[in-house]
Chain A
Amino acid sequence: MHGPIGRPAYGVLQPEDLSVASRRRFLKAGTFMFGFAVLARAGKAAAQSQGEEPSLRAITPGGPESGAAFNGFAPGGFIRIPSEGKITFIIPSTEMGQGIYTGEAMLLSEELEVTLDQVEVVPAPPNELLYSQPILKSQATGGSTSTRGAWGPLRQAGAAARTMLIAAAAQRWNVAPDTCFADQGRVYCRANGQSLPYGALVQAVRSQPVPKDVPLKKPGQFKLIGRSLQRVDTPSKVNGTAVFGIDVKVPEMKIAAIEICPAQGGRLRSMEDRGARNVPGVVDVLRIDNAVAVVADHFWAAKKGLEQLDLRWDFAGHEKVSTERIFADLKHASENGKPILGRELGDADKAMDDAHSRVEAVYELPFLAHATMEPMNTTVHVRPDGCDIWVGTQAPTAVQGAAAKTLGIPPEQVMVHNHLIGGGFGRRLVAESVVQAVQFARQVPYPLKVIQTREQDIRHDLFRPAYYDRIAAGLGPNGLPVVLTDRITGGSVLGSYLPTGLPDGTLDTDAVEGADRTPYSIPAVRVDWVRRDPPIKVNWWRGVGPAHNVYVVESFLDECAHSVGRDPVDYRRAMLKDNPRSRRVLDIAARRAGWGTPLPPRTGRGVSLHDSFGSHLALVCEVHVTPAGEVQLRRLVAAIDCGQTVNPNSVQAQIEGGVLFGMSAALYNAVTIQEGQVEQSNFNDYRQLRINETPPIEVHIVQSTEDPGGVGEAGTVSAAPALANAIFAATGVRLRRLPIDYGALMEKDAGKRVIAPPALALGLGAAALAWSGDKGAEA
């Protein structure tokens, strides 16, 4: 799974990269841009390579038309060393909260021998040639691949640059390079005791040959990697200066509120806009095939204008779409459809026939919205000679390509200014909202910022698919599975994502990931997939395939363990003889969580385990289920082996956030559709976990020198199964459908009981007051 080192994946140094002409070639495709670090000090001429155009034109009115041409050292796509001032790192992955600016900067810094406070980071412009990521094979951020993909190439890039700087200094001092070393942005000579800052070498270094396959540091030699360094993107996020896509300001920009046809696939039939145009501040009303936009000086006027529109939609038959029908259809397809094989190991049918006992179950998972904290938005300026797009995207080249296609112009004419992302979770891997914004913006001469209301954002999200899975196991005499079969039925995310689609009969590996390979040794396995694309668009969602499949497999293995009266941790451990890394995290999580120690009534612990994204993660969840069916999270304990950690604190943060993100969905979320329309709209009906529902969470990280695994999504994958297993332990109720159905967890007769804490049920709270004697929790 790890990117081959040496392959020019990222902009790994190549001699031609250093020639001005080739840089021009690269950079013509997508102009150099500056992200938050520079925006915070807009106007400052930042490091730019010769020939690279400045991109701040549109962001800083009256700013220098062309920043001083960059005269420093620009080895490849990632590093810009000026003769004075800070070094700039061009970070290939998008920052959406996972700390990747810091992590990738650490990889570069480690080998370049600089400290993080000597550098600034900027997001990479769209340029597949320079920034295509080796695992995803495109310039995109997702699938917990960033650190894994960058691990080799970025360190190589840093090491090569360092080697060249040392060589340049050695040449100047007339000493052998191996008498020199680099540290904190300077080259030192052991022989003569002299030193030079990198900045002083930027001219000399250009004539140095580019080294190939520089040996990289061994784990014991790391100065930065493995340390919890402070993140580089956070200071601006605590003082309000960080610029997310939604915060972009461009001169002459107008702001649009939009309404999209309530039923996906429908179109606008007619619009009466007189009322909207009369709203003060409204400047335009625009329409495209399936949406309208009211443009105004500010969003409020636009939104008020939108409310004044009289819109008639043509649902074009899509009003027949409902989640009920979709699930009935999935069930039918599961039972009658033609499966595509995901993985076959051994003879599953025979093993099933020979098994000592059999367990089987059906699991159902709902459509899910991303509900990123930052609602979808795009700012577009379509000019006669091209187009500028300011947006936070996980896939800059996809945005560029989609916009170019919409406008019928070459991609080079589309400049994508990538921004910080207020939550990606997969939502911002697709460019459909950008295309829509471009369709509106091409109708007007001014830059147009399109902001979706939360309601539009949720209703017109592209959802994680719903699934209907039939899983079965044959158990041996010792109770352990001798065979596992899983028939997965659902839509193809990859098919929806790829511009070319996925041909029928082809396996979408995402659909089976997490079920096809489990951490366990099971002699016979058959995992197959019936493709049934729903009548609505689907998309990646945090945790991708494993977030769906691991819930099913790990819940089901719990069922198997209970069916033979075995402890769920012991049962799993017995299947992990060949997987020491997984066994270790399972043991750590169980021990730290006090697995097996007594708990109060209706309280239980559940465990989940998986190997996804190159990491091994065990989670123990402890819940209490009240008589009314309320599920209270009491404690979460995770143990992860993700190989070499780059920034342990970021790993911990990703696991904490990822687990809770998964809990939020498992507890509360399902997108449902009636008459073609999404029924959820905002946080009042698409509920999110809040701080008062959040339990203490511990993350134990196993020290390891294996190559790094992905962590951004691992926690999300663990959440639902650990939760469902804990609920079973607490109540004996097995929930095979998400989200958690509180109603099924209610004690008998609880429906007839008044739901109130004793103090209030007794009356008026006066008693409670007398008991507590205090005057307000904060008095």
Chain B
Amino acid sequence: MTTILINGEAREVDVPPDMPLLWVLRDVVGLTGTKFGCGIAQCGACTVHVDGKPARSCVLPVSAVGNRNVTTVEAVGGTEIGRKVQEAWLDVEVVQCGYCQSGQIMSAAALLGRNPAPDDAAIDAAMSGNICRCATYPRIRAAIKRAAGLPAETV
């Protein structure tokens, strides 16, 4: 039995130590907001926060989480930054199919958590690991700026 802290709640799970956090969340704990896209840290769909920092849960063994707090998209709205990001996402109408967006939002919230006023280069650095096959990228950029209260110079 491993105990992990998910969205502020301690969860007991009976899983092998090398099992990636992604599958613990989705298939054991039942939080399916975190998505499976590639399984090799190439797409970012599985992004969660571990102690506020972005992590690709598809390659993060559950044993490596330790007693750090895992935040998923289901709970990120409980933080000020997460809420702003989600609002901006709706205001800018970022979402298309939506499958990548949990990961996008988690990456964006982590970015704003460490950099309240990211410029384009900072957005690139934080968000380039997140693929969106619907290519909502221009709006992701705009929404991050909106969440940060920055003027959006591009469409």
Contact = CB atoms under 8 A, between A and B. Distances in A.
Given A373-B131, A373-B134, A423-B97, A691 B123 contact: yes
A328 interface: no
A249 B138 contact: no
A96 interface: yes
Contacts of B45: 373
Contact of B23 (A230, A300, A660, A694): A300
A420 B27 contact: no
A664 B139 CA distance: 17
A664 B101 CA distance: 19
Contacts of A696: 138, 154-155
A453 B133 CA distance: 17
Interface string A644-683: 0000011001001101110010000000000000000011
Interface centre among B90, B134, B137 (most CB of A within 10 A): B134
Interface in B103-155: 105, 114-115, 118, 121-125, 127-141, 154-155
Given A230-B90, A373-B43, A683-B42, A688 B37 contact: no
A17 interface: no
Interface in A683-711: 683-684, 688-692, 694, 696-699
A451 B35 CA distance: 12
B38 A454 contact: yes
B144 to A, nearest CB: 10
A300 B27 contact: yes
A375 B99 CA distance: 10
Contacts of B31: 240
Interface stretch (A63-71, A116-124, A231-239): A231-239
Contacts of B43: 373, 683
A240 B105 CA distance: 10
B37 A231 contact: no
B93 interface: yes
Interface on chain B toward A: helix, strand, loop, or mixed SS? loop
A422 interface: yes
A682 B42 contact: yes
B16 interface: yes
Contacts of B138: 656, 694, 696-697
B131 A423 contact: no
A649 B93 contact: yes
A231 B95 contact: yes
A373 B86 CA distance: 20
Contacts of A422: 35, 97-100
A298 B74 contact: no
Interface in B7-45: 15-16, 19-20, 23, 26-28, 30-40, 42-43, 45
Contact of A691 (B23, B73, B77, B128): B128
A720 interface: no
A423 B89 contact: no
A692 B124 contact: yes
A630 interface: no
B137 A247 contact: no
B2 interface: no
Contact size range, A? 35 or more
Given A300-B27, A422-B98, A777-B122, A239 B36 contact: no
Nearest to B126: A778
A276 B148 CA distance: 49
A630 B115 CA distance: 30
A661 B138 CA distance: 13
A181 interface: no
A240 B39 contact: no
B74 A239 contact: yes
B123 A423 contact: no
Interface centre among B89, B90, B95 (most CB of A within 10 A): B95
Contacts of B134: 97, 373, 423, 657, 661
Contacts of B124: 691-692
A434 B52 CA distance: 39
B19 A657 contact: no
Nearest to B132: A373
B73 A239 contact: yes
A231 to B, nearest CB: 6
A240 B74 contact: yes
A372 interface: yes
A281 B23 CA distance: 13
Contacts of B127: 691-692
B141 A691 contact: yes
A682 B40 contact: yes
B39 A454 contact: yes
A773 to B, nearest CB: 16
A778 B114 contact: yes
A297 B23 CA distance: 11
A777 B20 contact: no
Contacts of B32: 240, 243, 246-247, 249
B23 to A, nearest CB: 4
A445 B101 CA distance: 35
B96 A300 contact: no
A410 interface: no
A240 B96 contact: no
Contacts of A243: 32
Nearest to A248: B32
B100 A373 contact: yes
B136 A420 contact: no
Interface string A410-432: 00000000001111110000000
A243 B32 CA distance: 8
Given A237-B95, A373-B100, A694-B135, 17 more contacts: A96-B97, A228-B93, A230-B90, A233-B98, A246-B36, A297-B27, A298-B27, A299-B27, A371-B133, A373-B99, A373-B131, A425-B133, A454-B37, A649-B93, A656-B138, A661-B133, A661-B135
Interface of A: 96-99, 228, 230-231, 233-235, 237-244, 246-247, 249, 255, 280-281, 297-301, 371-375, 420-425, 451, 453-454, 649-650, 653, 656-657, 659-661, 664, 682-684, 688-692, 694, 696-699, 777-778
19 contacts: A97-B98, A234-B98, A235-B90, A255-B27, A301-B19, A373-B97, A373-B100, A423-B134, A453-B39, A656-B138, A664-B135, A682-B39, A682-B42, A684-B40, A691-B123, A691-B124, A691-B127, A697-B155, A778-B122
Interface of B: 15-16, 19-20, 23, 26-28, 30-40, 42-43, 45, 72-74, 77, 86, 89-90, 93, 95-102, 105, 114-115, 118, 121-125, 127-141, 154-155
What 10 A-B pairs have minimum CB-CB distances, sorted nearest first? Answer: A240-B33, A422-B99, A97-B97, A237-B98, A97-B96, A660-B135, A298-B27, A240-B73, A247-B32, A692-B124
